[in-house]
Amino acid sequence: MIPAEFRYERVSTVDEALARLAEHGDDAKVLAGGHSLLPLMKLRLAAPEYLVDIGPVDELRYVRLDGDEVVIGALTRYSDLEQDPVLREHAPLLAHASGEVGDRQVRHRGTLGGSLVHADAAADLPAAILASDAVLVARGPSGERRIPASEFFLGPFTTPLEPDELLTEIRLPGQAGLGWGFEKFTRRALDWAMVGVAVVGGKVGLVNMAGVPLRASATEEALASGASIADAAALAAEGTNPPDEPHATAEYRRHLARVLTRRALTQAAGS
């Protein structure tokens, strides 16, 4: 439970972070809230030679409107997202889902960017980001690039970010007035989701139903062609490949996906 030796470097601007990442390449890891990276290091599943702590980079901590879009700095913490008045009005699904992550301690440290780059299919916010049709902004030595959320989760814990790139911003189309719902089924209070469902404006993101967060495309298509909530939700497990574990078999997770999707869609219809 003790990490391998590493060098710790604290930076206070994006430019400084990029310079350190360019210098260290594959040997460095960015440290944001540390709530996924540090456990991995303690288990020695990650052993970076350098940790570049971006905690003090305040320029990456914000929520604001930019025309019709809501833009969020990658270092914004769950607890700030949960309470932010702009987010609550213009992207209420994301504000609500942020309040469902772990416990208060986790939410005071964990960041939206950290959750997305960690790319765990069992995490809550990647599914909400997918359902929101968000675009992720990355900055590296050759400038900025924009990656649609649908192209960001390549595999378990795998994204298209290069070791010298920083995720800087998340951009969502404004969702004021769109129906939304979020359901998360846990074994014990504060656990990770056994299965979760994030719905906004007829788009449906699934938590823990494959090696990556994914959209319930068959459900979305059925809704778009006028199917009832019950009929559309019955298709929620199509195209999924959920983990099969003693405490939750794949078949049980498929059942949960159908039930939770029906509940989340019903919630969305009433919101």
Ligand X SMILES: Cc1cc2nc3c(=O)[nH]c(=O)nc-3n(C[C@H](O)[C@H](O)[C@H](O)COP(=O)(O)OP(=O)(O)OC[C@H]3O[C@@H](n4cnc5c(N)ncnc54)[C@H](O)[C@@H]3O)c2cc1C
Q: Pick the stretch among 1-9, 107-115, 224-232, 240-248 that binds ligand X (CB under 6 A).
A: 107-115
Tokens of 153: 């989760």
Q: Pick the stretch among 79-87, 118-126, 214-222, 254-262 that binds ligand X (CB under 6 A).
A: 118-126
Q: Which residue has 């959209």 as its token pair?
A: 215
Q: How far is the CB of 124 from ligand X (least distance, A)?
A: 4
Report 220-249 residues binding ligand X (CB under 6 A): none
Question: CA distances (Å), 28 to each of 5, 163, 192, in order?
Answer: 13, 8, 28
Q: How far is the CB of 179 from ligand X (least distance, A)?
A: 23
DSSP letter for each residue of 145-168:
EEEEGGGT--BTTB-S--TT-EEE
State which of residues 73, 114, 179, 242 lies at the interface with ligand X (CB under 6 A): 114
Distance of CA 182 to the CA centre of its chain: 14
Q: How many CB atoms lie within 10 A of CB 180?
A: 24
Residues near 81 by beta carbon (within 8 Å), at least 6 away in sequence: 63, 72, 87, 94, 95, 98, 112
198 is a contact residue toward ligand X (CB under 6 A) = no
Q: How far is the CB of 225 from ligand X (least distance, A)?
A: 32
Q: How far is the CB of 135 from ligand X (least distance, A)?
A: 15
Q: Is 226 helix (H, G, I), strand (E, B) or coil?
A: coil
- Angstrom distance (rounded) from CA 195 to CA 209: 7
Question: CA distances (Å), 13 to each of 55, 56, 172, in order?
Answer: 10, 8, 24
94 is a contact residue toward ligand X (CB under 6 A) = no
Report 20-59 residues binding ligand X (CB under 6 A): 29-37, 39
115 is a contact residue toward ligand X (CB under 6 A) = yes
Report 129-148 residues binding ligand X (CB under 6 A): none
Q: How far is the CB of 212 from ligand X (least distance, A)?
A: 14
Q: Pick the stretch among 106-114, 171-179, 213-221, 257-265 that binds ligand X (CB under 6 A).
A: 106-114
- Cβ–Cβ < 8 Å for 98, 82: yes
127 is a contact residue toward ligand X (CB under 6 A) = no
- Cβ–Cβ < 8 Å for 215, 126: no
Total site size for ligand X, rule CB under 6 A: 29
Q: How far is the CB of 214 from ligand X (least distance, A)?
A: 15
Q: Pick the stretch among 102-110, 198-206, 224-232, 249-257 that binds ligand X (CB under 6 A).
A: 102-110
Tokens of 56: 């003090």
Report CA Rg, the chain: 18
State which of residues 113, 179, 181, 211 lies at the interface with ligand X (CB under 6 A): 113
Q: Is the dihedral of CA 239, 160, 151, 261 positive or negative?
A: positive
Q: How far is the CB of 80 from ligand X (least distance, A)?
A: 12
CB of 128 or CB of 200, closer to ligand X: 128
**Residues interacting with ligand X, by CB under 6 A?**
29-37, 39, 74, 101-102, 106, 109-111, 113-115, 117-118, 123-125, 161, 166-167, 192
